[in-house]
């Protein structure tokens, strides 16, 4: 095994802790009158984390940045069901996740995470991988924002390997999908898992680049849209669409399932939920409305980089 393929959990932990600080600083910069609540917690079965939540801000109704490092004697089902070859191994998992639920319906919800797993067994080579990505969930989308989001994702991937963006973009479309609704959660981005093909050093740098790209791309969207005027109609629709976000997180999201199954801190795991959401029986947007356009034109997989955005207004 080459030196750069030897996993270094301490390096990952230090890098991810720095990334948490940077992400919290970026989001907190939009809320000079608000402070993050910081909770440091321990997991009974081993390890713990640092949860930072900003609530009731002018821009963000809720924004949170989590760091965790947990370990145990056996992988939870959320991980071992996908990798039955690792059943019975001890593990360490390190991760950073960020979710932002803006108040203004014209600013999308955004999510990112990076994570590292290493599984051990006596007299066997450690098995390790990285995972993560970022995705965007608009309510009243701007095509220019969507194109900028995907161009940033492509540029980050291409700096490491130009085969990564098409793979991870498709994986994101497939993963953030609600089959019972027949729609994607948003307009996608990147998603990857079981990733170790570049070697440890490059994979760690790639995970860090994912966090950095998310911070830059999302901050740009927030700056452009945070002062857009809205009324109760847009606010009501935002809450309805947030309900779909909740459905995905509670039914399908692997990170939520892993956290709950591994006896992580419940409040930290469910920090990703919006503070307000709604469900309306058999809701159907008015044909031709902006609400209908979101569902009909945006919530389906498509090659955003094939769209000519040169004539699009910012």
Both ends of the chain: CA-CA distance in Å? 49
Q: Are 164 and 157 in contact (CB under 8 A)?
A: yes
Element (H, E) at 131: strand 127-137
Q: Cα 16 vs. chain centroid, distance in angstroms?
A: 14
Longest dimension (CA), the chain: 63
Q: What's the CA gap between 218 and 225, in Å, rounded? A: 11
Q: Are 57 and 31 in contact (CB under 8 A)?
A: yes
Q: What's the CA gap between 54 and 226, in Å, rounded? A: 17
* Helices marked H in 29-55: none
Annotation marks residue 111 as catalytic: yes
Q: Are 246 and 114 in contact (CB under 8 A)?
A: no
Q: Cα 311 vs. chain centroid, distance in angstroms?
A: 30
Q: What's the CA gap between 118 and 128, in Å, rounded? A: 4
111, 120, 150, 180: which one is catalytic?
111
Beta bridge partners of 53: 37, 64
The residues that are catalytic are: 111
């Amino acid at each position: 095994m080459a030196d750069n393929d030897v996993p270094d959990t301490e390096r990952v932990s230090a890098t991810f802790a720095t990334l948490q600080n940077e992400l919290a600083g970026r989001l907190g910069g939009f809320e000079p009158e608000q402070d993050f609540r910081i909770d440091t917690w321990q997991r009974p079965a081993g390890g713990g984390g640092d949860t930072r939540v900003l609530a009731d801000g002018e821009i963000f109704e809720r924004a949170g940045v989590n760091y965790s490092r947990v370990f145990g004697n056996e992988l939870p089902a959320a991980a071992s069901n996908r990798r039955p070859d690792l059943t019975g191994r001890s593990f360490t998992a390190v991760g950073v996740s960020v979710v932002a639920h803006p108040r203004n319906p014209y600013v999308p919800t955004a999510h990112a995470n990076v994570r590292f797993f290493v599984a051990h067994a006596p007299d066997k080579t450690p098995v390790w991988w990285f995972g993560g990505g970022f995705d965007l969930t608009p309510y009243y989308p701007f095509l220019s924002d969507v194109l900028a989001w995907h161009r940033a994702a492509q540029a980050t991937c291409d700096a490491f390997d130009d085969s990564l963006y098409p793979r991870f973009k498709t994986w994101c479309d497939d993963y953030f999908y609600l089959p019972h609704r027949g729609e994607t959660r948003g307009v996608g981005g990147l998603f990857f898992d079981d990733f170790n093909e570049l070697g440890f050093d490059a994979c760690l740098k790639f995970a860090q680049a994912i966090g950095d790209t998310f911070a830059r791309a999302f901050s740009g969207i927030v700056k452009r849209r945070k002062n857009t005027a809205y009324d109760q109609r847009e606010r009501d629709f935002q809450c309805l669409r947030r309900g779909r976000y909740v459905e995905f997180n509670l039914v399908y999201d692997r990170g939520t399932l892993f956290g709950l199954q591994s006896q992580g801190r419940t409040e930290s795991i469910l920090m990703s939920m919006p503070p307000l959401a709604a469900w309306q029986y058999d809701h159907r947007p008015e044909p031709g409305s902006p609400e209908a356009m979101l569902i009909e034109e945006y919530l389906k997989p498509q090659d955003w980089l094939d769209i000519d955005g040169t004539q699009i207004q910012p």
